[in-house]
Chains A and B, each alone.
Chain A
Amino acid sequence: MADNPYTLHRLANGLQIVIECMPDVRSVAVGFLVRTGSRDETPEVAGVSHFLEHMMFKGTARRTWRQITVDFDRLGSTYNAYTSAERTIYYGWVPHDLLEPQLELLADMMQSRLPPEEFDTEKNVVLEEIAMSKDQLEHVAMDFLQEQVFAGHPLAWPILGYDHTVGPLSRDGMDGYFRQRYAADNLTLIVTGNLNPTVVIDLADKYCGAWQPAGAPAERRLPALRQGTSVQQVERFKQQIVALACPSVGSADPLAETAGALATILGGENSRFYWNIIQTGISPRAGVFHLDYRDCGLLVLWGACQPENAERLLDAMRAEAAKISTEKVATHEVQRVKNIRRTGLAIEAEAPYHRFGQIVEDMECRGHPRTVNQMLADVDAVSADTIQQYLARCPIDRGGHLVSVGPRAWPAASNC
């Protein structure tokens, strides 16, 4: 697969621009990466980054909330926004001849006036989102896991925040956070698709050139990972979620790709978990994922089961963790994962939106984008040896934090 060229540029106000030209497609994806998320909040305003993301759709000096949504839909855009612990993303994906109006609209949104008259109504929407998350067992379990493992650190609270932190938020308090975090030098404009890079730079200058920088935001603090056992009994759920969170590398670490491959071998499709846990009837859903932040991470082994099966599930997960730690993985297992990843990259390279997402990851983790072939080279570098190196550095057969959420108060408190 031939690589598409990318262009890096920075405006005088510090706004970073990444452009990838994809001549074979008929569309373009445009978006802003804002380096702010729940990790940048203080505990009393937990959830403000996510609430702010909602408010960014509510009006600017030039547009009402109604005009913003109408203008997106007039372009036929596939658009949305999301907030994570470390970033907030706004994007639109349109036919390539609509690049300029899409960029102009997103740039205008970044200059939100956070309309006071919309604040309380939108707060209700966010409180509904929080209520919805409380009805989803996996969501409840993941929030609890983060709360326990990262206790005392901003990564501990949910991205949505809590009723008791979102409820009292004021528009003026949010405005201070907004001005600090959405300055030109804390944003990256990413544009991928069928485009001319020179035109993109000119448009960026036209619509974003007058934005003000604010200086570098405060450095993020590295969390200490708490080990142990934590139980949350929620009687209204029918299943038990059992998760074992082991310290792992961050997304910027050279072993990050290896962590992902290990998670797939252990707990992806056609994995050891699939054949030895799911296909033995212990649990209908079990897997492993790499939860990665820039400077730290977790490898999470998890499963959902009937409450009475919790011991069997934990034993089976621990057995697989022990086995892979003591017996070097076979080369063909690693190769399988690489083959799937290779096809996945070819599939994603067809769609500017997917490339946009990959570039977001790269900019956050590496500070520069990778071409598809560079990504393939990193995949190829994973081997049975690098997996051994990873397991020596980040063991999964001891320590970690065991989390159990569901109708059963298990393990008993005396064991916690």
Chain B
Amino acid sequence: MTDTLHTKLSCGLECAVQPLPDRHVVAFQIRVLGGTCGEPEAKLGLARIVTETLDKGTARHTGPELLDAFDSLGAHHRAGTGRETATFTCTVLPEHFEPAVALHAEMLRTPTFPADAFEVNVELARQELLALQDDPQGLVDKYLNAQAFGPVLGRHALGERDTLDRLTRDDVVEFWQTHFQAGRMLVAVAGAIEPQHALALLEEHFAGFGTAQQDARLPVAFGFGAETRHYPKDLEQEQLGLCWPGVAVTDPDFPVQQVTLGVLSGGMSARLFTEVREKQGLVYWVGAWQETPRGAGLIFLGASTRPERCDRTYATLLAEVDRLGKDLTEEELQRAITGLVAAQDTRGDTTRARCAELGSDLFYYGHPVSREKKLAWVRVVTRADVERYLAGHPRDRLSVVTLGPRALGAD
């Protein structure tokens, strides 16, 4: 990525800017290295409450005034809480880049966390936990992540009813003070912007924001939880989720993992869709994906089907993974590679996608990695690589969750 600027500013922010001069917007992403894994064990749900309450008031604005100020810029902005980060994304017309950065700085640096807003957002989190009971796929994700990733990385952003009850406004302030500092922030910018100008603005708005010392750069260790559990629930369909250990984003075999997932679930001709849905009509939805905290990776498979067909669906999912190591064809491999490469010209080519990719590079690699380089890694993956990868990461230690009226093998 020859034209991408990557630097650490004096204030502590680590920044990468990719100029795309022919675009009509600028997108930026601020990652604060402080997600759910930074919560005290008894205070689960805290990280999300911090993110949700940040925009409810600042030293200069009330909550409604702050959001009105964002809207006056036409800003498309979002905040989210993940395992390891709180992420703030924003897309604006180029002329609004500076005020949008200024508003983010104000929100991140000077939140007032009004007591009533804190109380309401804890109450809303309790209600969201109830709503999760009406979302079967979301519920399986929660159970499977907790089981596979364990007590720290497997936390759900909403927390639990009892831990929410324990939260205080002081906890929110303390979490913010600990994690929201320039030295723990990664900023990616892409679009119609001159890089030096963007960096100068970021330095100006974040100078003196906590420590400039870089922190929280290390992966969080976890032990994979291999077990099978069924959660009974009155549903039309049985939800199936399973996973096993793969590799991290920075592992040399990560491109092999990407291609392997492409063969399994990259398009309608991929194996899972073909074998589970098209040949047998067992499901409407089936898929494979990966989850990649820093330093680790897990491969997930998921499907939903009517209860009487769930054993057959489960058996087919496993059979397809096993078969992959034995009869992968060159044509299939090339199709999976083509899918990954072509996406760079289509959905991966928007300004927001470019910005997201840059932010991801900073988070995982600690520096931008050119798109050409990443695609070159994918292009050279061979059948032998996939076979070696599958042999090295077998699905013999599985974490499995089912949710619905019937456990696996219930006959």
Interface residues of A (CB under 8 A from B): 1, 24-27, 57, 65-66, 69-70, 72-79, 93-96, 98, 120-126, 128-129, 131-132, 134-137, 236-239, 269-270, 275, 278-281, 283-285, 304-306, 332, 335-337, 339-344, 346-347, 349-353
Q: Are A350 and B23 in contact (CB under 8 A)?
A: yes
Is A93's CB under 8 angstroms from B72's CB? no
Which residues on B sit within 8 Å (CB–CB) of A129?
284
Contact A340:B131 (CB < 8 A) given known A26-B345, A73-B335, A125-B277: no
Q: B24 contacts A278, CB within 8 Å?
A: no
Among B135, B346, B351, the one with the most A-chain Cβ atoms within 10 Å of its Cβ is B346
Which listed residue, B67, B134, B266, B281, touches A73 by the CB 8 Å rule?
B266
A343, B74: Cβ atoms closer than 8 Å: yes
Which residue of the partner chain, among A126, A136, A237, A343, contacts B75 with CB atoms under 8 Å?
A343
11 contacts between A and B (CB under 8 A): A73-B270, A73-B338, A125-B284, A132-B284, A270-B68, A279-B120, A335-B72, A336-B72, A340-B76, A344-B76, A350-B24
Interface 9-residue window, one of B36-44, B167-175, B229-237: B229-237
The answer to whether B130 and A340 touch across the interface, beta carbons within 8 angstroms, is: no
Q: Work out how many contacts link A and B, with CB atoms closer than 8 A.
A: 189
CB nearest neighbor in B for A337: B71
Q: Tell me the chain B residues, 329-354 only, with Cβ under 8 Å from chain A.
A: 335, 338-343, 345-347, 349-352
A95 touches B346 (CB 8 A): yes
Cross-chain contact B269 with A69 (CB below 8 angstroms): yes
Contact with A along B109-126 (1 / 0, CB 8 A): 000000001011001100
State whether the Cβ of B394 lies closer than 8 Å to any Cβ in chain A: no
Q: Complex: how many Å from CA A98 to CA B345? A: 11
Give every chain B residue within 8 A of A27 (Cβ-Cβ): 345-346, 349
- Chain B positions 109-157 with a Cβ under 8 Å from a chain A Cβ: 117, 119-120, 123-124, 127-128, 130-131, 133-136
The 9 closest A-B pairs by CB, nearest first: A76-B342, A124-B281, A339-B74, A336-B71, A69-B269, A129-B284, A69-B268, A343-B74, A73-B267
Q: Chain A residues near B258: list those with CB within 8 A.
A: none
Q: Which residue of B64, B127, B281 contacts A275 across the interface (Cβ within 8 Å)? A: B64
CB contact under 8 A between A70 and B127, given known A76-B342, A95-B345: no
Contact across chains for A73 and B91 when beta carbons are under 8 A apart: no
Q: What sequence of 0s and 1s flags, for each residue 374-408 of chain B, a beta carbon within 8 Å of any chain A beta carbon?
A: 00000000000000000000000000000000000
- Which residues of B does A touch, CB under 8 Å? 22-25, 56, 63-64, 67-68, 70-76, 91-93, 117, 119-120, 123-124, 127-128, 130-131, 133-136, 234-237, 266-270, 273-274, 277-285, 304-306, 335, 338-343, 345-347, 349-352
Asked if A65 and B131 sit within 8 Å, CB to CB, the answer is: no
Q: How far is the CB of B371 from chain A (nearest CB, A)?
A: 12
Note all chain A residues with C-beta closer than 8 A to B92.
343
Asked if A353 and B342 make an inter-chain contact with CB atoms under 8 angstroms apart, the answer reads no
A345 to B306, CA, bound (A): 41
Question: Other than the known A343-B93, A347-B76, what 7 A-B pairs have Cβ atoms closer than 8 Å?
Answer: A73-B267, A96-B345, A128-B237, A128-B305, A238-B130, A339-B71, A343-B91
Q: Which residues of B contact A275 (CB under 8 A)?
A: 63-64
Task: State how many angstroms separate the Cβ of A258 from the closest Cβ of chain B.
Answer: 18
Smallest CB gap from A335: residue in B: B72
The answer to whether B130 touches A236, judged by C-beta atoms less than 8 angstroms apart, is no
Given A69-B274, A78-B347, A275-B64, residue A125 in contact with residue B281 (CB < 8 A): yes
Q: Do A132 and B304 touch across chains, with their CB atoms under 8 A apart?
A: yes
Measured between beta carbons, the chain B residues less than 8 angstroms from A270 are 64, 67-68, 70-71
Given contacts A95-B346, A238-B134, A350-B24, contact A342 B266 (CB under 8 A): no
Contacts of B127 in A (CB 8 A): 281, 283-284, 305-306
B93 and A346 form a contact (CB under 8 A): yes
When the two chains form their complex, are residues A76 and B343 in contact, meaning their CB atoms are under 8 A apart? yes
Contact A353 B284 (CB under 8 A): no
Within the complex, what minimum Cβ distance (angstroms) separates A409 from chain B?
A: 17
Instruction: Report chain A residues within 8 Å CB of B25.
Output: 343, 346-347, 350
Chain A residues near B285 (CB-CB < 8 A): 128, 132
